[in-house]
Structure 1
Amino acid sequence: MPVRKFIISVIALALVVVSGFVKSENVLTLEAALGAAVQNNPSLARIKAAAQALAAIPSQAGALPDPVIGFNVMSLPVDHFDTRKEEMAQIGFGISQAIPFPGKLTLREQAAAYEAQAAAYNEDELRLSLLSDVKTVWWQLFYLDRLLEITDNNRMLLQQLVDIAGTKYEVGEGLQQDVLLAQLELSKLLDRKIKIDGMRSNAVAGLNALLDLPGNIPVQLPTKVALQLPDIYDDQTLYRLAETYRPLLASERERVNAAKSKLDLAKREILPDFNVNAAYGARDNMPDGTRRSDLLSFGISMNVPIFYAQKQAQGVSQSTSELMRERYALQDQWNGVRKQISQAGNDYRRAKEQVSLYETGIIPQAQQTVASMLAGYQVNKVDFLNLIRSQITVYDFEAQYWQAFAEANQALAQLVAATGKEDIYE
């Protein structure tokens, strides 16, 4: 078979495969997958509900305790139960109100508000993590689709090589072992396809789980995406972005603020709380009609912290340790964020360089090698084993190209999640 005819047949085969993908309906783009995840993911909905619940706490923490209303009968004679015959007998009504020392309620409300804001940032953090997970699985699925595509293409090409080897063998110009070798490689490709199909099914199940769908729902991705990989900021710039925009760090800072408010509150616990009460006692007139005055009472009480060393002082010590714990947690999270950024940035730059190398150098050179070897084999100047090996090498390089491309996009997803900002490009 002439080289030109072989190349034309390869192009036609690729067009047939691509057209088969394009005709599929219900293509799930990356944007659609991200939107569905944010809308439907139950984990995100759970965190959102928790944040809404905590947002209702600050006003409760800052409110005064409910007043207490009481009713009583005083000095009621038990021999006749006649309130007119006992001068001190009265029916009383009272109300009391507990009043914390000034500033305590404000600090309680403040601490609760910081914790509620931390929970809101947790929702943002989970959203970033969810979107990163969706992108990672989506690009893995895209890679597996491309791997299936080039596997099918190479299977067709190997079949053509089998036909060529068979024709040469029939006319006495080739060897039977060439035919057998090509058939063996075809079987290996079929084995690869089975494995890839299994990996794709697992990836589909993972993506569907993130979208709150049954794992066996079919997923069809687009066959064409933008192939350009942008340049990203250096690590120091990405660190600064994360310090400003990463919800995880903002949440930890709010927890530090909450711990500070709780420490201030613990220091105020030595100050007494008050209880103000008022009571009204109604008395009946005497049996002879003499009027008795009703009685009005007022009172105020306060707690006395005589167990300061065992209670309030220990509370201050506890709150101090909790504040230090939150500060250490913030520093630990900051170190983790910088690690994530550096690792994802390194992965992206490495994958981007690999994509460029495969696209501009390795794959075109490998394809030229196959074309040259095919021409040589047809005139008995190239061994069939080397021809097969060269075609398998092209397959491997094409697979590595798409793997590097997917890994670059996955690293970008991780960088966006690590910095908390979409715009990380120069």
Structure 2
Amino acid sequence: MFPVMHRAGPRRWSRTVAHLVIALLALPACASSQSPAAPPRDSLRLGTLLDAVERGSPRLEAARATARAARARVPGVTRPPDPQFQVGWMNYELPGLRPMDVLGMTQVQLMQMVPVAGKLRLAGEAETARADASATRVMDVSLDLRARASMIFYDIYVADGTLGVARDTKRLLQEISDLAAKMYQVGEGRQADVLRADVELARMQEDIIRMETMRTTMAARLNALLAAPSDAAVGAPQLPRFPAALPTLDSLAQLAERHRPMLRAGEQDVEAADASARLAQREIWPDVQVGVQLGTQGGAMGPQRMGSLMVGASLPVFAGSRQLQMREEASAMRAMAAAELASMRADTRGAVGEARADLVRARRLTELYRTSVLPQAEATVTSSLASYRVGSVNFMTLLDAQMTLNRYRQELVTLEAEEGKAWATLEMLTGRVLVDARSAQPARPAGEPRR
């Protein structure tokens, strides 16, 4: 229940309230024009963030360790099996353990299995291709992490920008609510205006709480990528300068086909599968085994020394269920690798087209908002202000015009972030840097169009 006040001087109150409302609605524009050009002290540039991801991501370190492990396997597969060395005491008496006359002897034997038909070379080619694929996937993991970090970076930018607009709007609504209450107290306003202003104020506080929670969540996700404490402070993102010209779809598709690490790793997987298939074709060839044997035997004329040379080969008696099945397996694995590569190429082409479409949409809508939507919304607010001063529009019309302008400012922030996300996606798909992440756009209030 609002207190009852005397209605003396209604014209004076009307003029005072009108002037105060005009001044309050002009506050956001004044604040925008007086904002410093320098970025805030706790600002965060995209390049700084990406450098931190490269240095501190556990996932990237795991990928590098996997690549080192794969490379370490290459020398081993190009060498034959280890030779076997045996020492034997043959024909000794029991339990005395004395060599029997004529028959007792001490023997030393060395055996070596030698793969033939180029098996070691083909095994080395297959393992080298797998190691190359693992090394290439390190770059793919790096690009994926950069893209994920960029997405969170732009999400935080949206949260900060939306919060800035929402807080400005809340301050404005609070003042308007107070003015509406005073006008109602002196008989110059309606209770419905007071209630509507209070409802809008509560709704704006709800939006602020929601965006603050979103900001905290996004910061925790970003810290998880950096292996940092979840509550570590994250500065205010500062947009990089986006390229003025948009690359054509054909040029982006060609870049992705030539340079995307995922596709290069898929090609290396096909090379490994092809070498494995050729190796499986030769597994049916028997492997040769060579042995040398030296023996010493006592005799009446003194110790007698003797030697033997042995040559053998493996017999593929189970070829139907072993070597021939290895051929079938290798052929299927090669077909699978080729199909996966074809699928990745098709997915990449589709993703490039989708990302460029998102980029074009965000760029065009951003330009539309800056050159048409926001100026028209600002003109509507100015017109409503003038009409409110002479009494030709009511309080709600003025409030709705200002709320619409603030909503457009929030949408402009979202469009700017969507353009950044599209560039980040294209960088991941093409494997090339398309945006100078160390650059920064001039600082300006959230949702304000560039002049």
Shared topology, TM-score over 0.5?
yes
TM-score by length of 2: 0.86
CA shift, 1:12, in A, is 4.2
For residue 9 of structure 1, what is the amino acid of its counterpart?
A: L
Alignment counterpart, residue 258 of structure 2, candidates 228, 244, 258 = 244
Contact 1:14–1:153 (CA<8 Å) still a contact in 2? no
Q: What pairs with 1:26-45 in structure 2 (closer than 5 Å)? A: 27-45=43-61
Deviates more, 1:34-43 or 1:261-270: 34-43
Match of 1:10 in 2: 28
For residue 246 of structure 1, what is the amino acid of its counterpart?
A: R
User: How many Å separate the matches in 1 of 2:321 and 2:132?
Assistant: 33
Alignment counterpart, residue 387 of structure 1, candidates 376, 392, 398 = 398
For residue 311 of structure 1, what is the amino acid of its counterpart?
A: R
What whole-Å deviation, never above 9, does each CA across 1:275-308 have from its counterpart, x for those lacking one? 111011012242xxx2343011111100122332
SS at match of 1:382: coil
- Which stretches in structure 2 are left out of the alignment for 5+ residues? 1-18, 437-451
Contact 1:282–1:294 (CA<8 Å) still a contact in 2? yes
CA shift, 1:145, in A, is 0.1
SS at match of 2:80: coil
Match of 1:208 in 2: 223
SS at match of 1:421: coil
Deviates more, 1:2-11 or 1:143-152: 2-11
Cα RMSD after superposing both structures: 2.4
Contact 2:165–2:406 (CA<8 Å) still a contact in 1? yes
Match of 1:90 in 2: 105
2:317 is the alignment partner of 1:306: yes
For residue 247 of structure 1, what is the amino acid of its counterpart?
A: P
Contact 2:242–2:435 (CA<8 Å) still a contact in 1? no
User: How many Å separate the matches in 2 of 1:282 and 1:270?
Assistant: 39
Contact 1:121–1:250 (CA<8 Å) still a contact in 2? yes
Match of 2:159 in 1: 144
Match of 1:282 in 2: 296
CA shift, 1:184, in A, is 2.2
Contact 2:257–2:263 (CA<8 Å) still a contact in 1? yes
CA shift, 1:102, in A, is 3.8
CA shift, 1:384, in A, is 1.1
CA shift, 1:226, in A, is 4.4
What whole-Å deviation, never above 9, does each CA across 1:348-399 have from its counterpart, x for those lacking one? 1111111111111101110111122112112211111111111110011111
Q: What pairs with 1:290-369 in structure 2 (closer than 5 Å)? A: 290-369=301-380
User: How many Å separate the matches in 2 of 1:10 and 1:104?
Assistant: 76
Q: What pairs with 1:219-230 in structure 2 (closer than 5 Å)? A: 219-222=234-237, 224-226=238-240, 228=242, 230=244
Alignment counterpart, residue 409 of structure 2, candidates 393, 398, 404 = 398
Contact 1:3–1:375 (CA<8 Å) still a contact in 2? no
Contact 2:21–2:176 (CA<8 Å) still a contact in 1? no
- Which stretches in structure 1 are left out of the alignment for 5+ residues? none
CA shift, 1:90, in A, is 1.4
User: How many Å separate the matches in 2 of 1:394 and 1:355?
Assistant: 15
2:128 is the alignment partner of 1:110: no
Q: What pairs with 1:156-167 in structure 2 (closer than 5 Å)? A: 156-166=171-181
2:431 is the alignment partner of 1:415: no
SS at match of 2:251: helix
Contact 1:13–1:153 (CA<8 Å) still a contact in 2? no
CA shift, 1:164, in A, is 4.7
2:281 is the alignment partner of 1:263: no
For residue 232 of structure 1, what is the amino acid of its counterpart?
A: L
**Count of aligned pairs:** 418
Same amino acid, percent of matched pairs: 27
For residue 318 of structure 2, what is the amino acid of its counterpart?
A: F
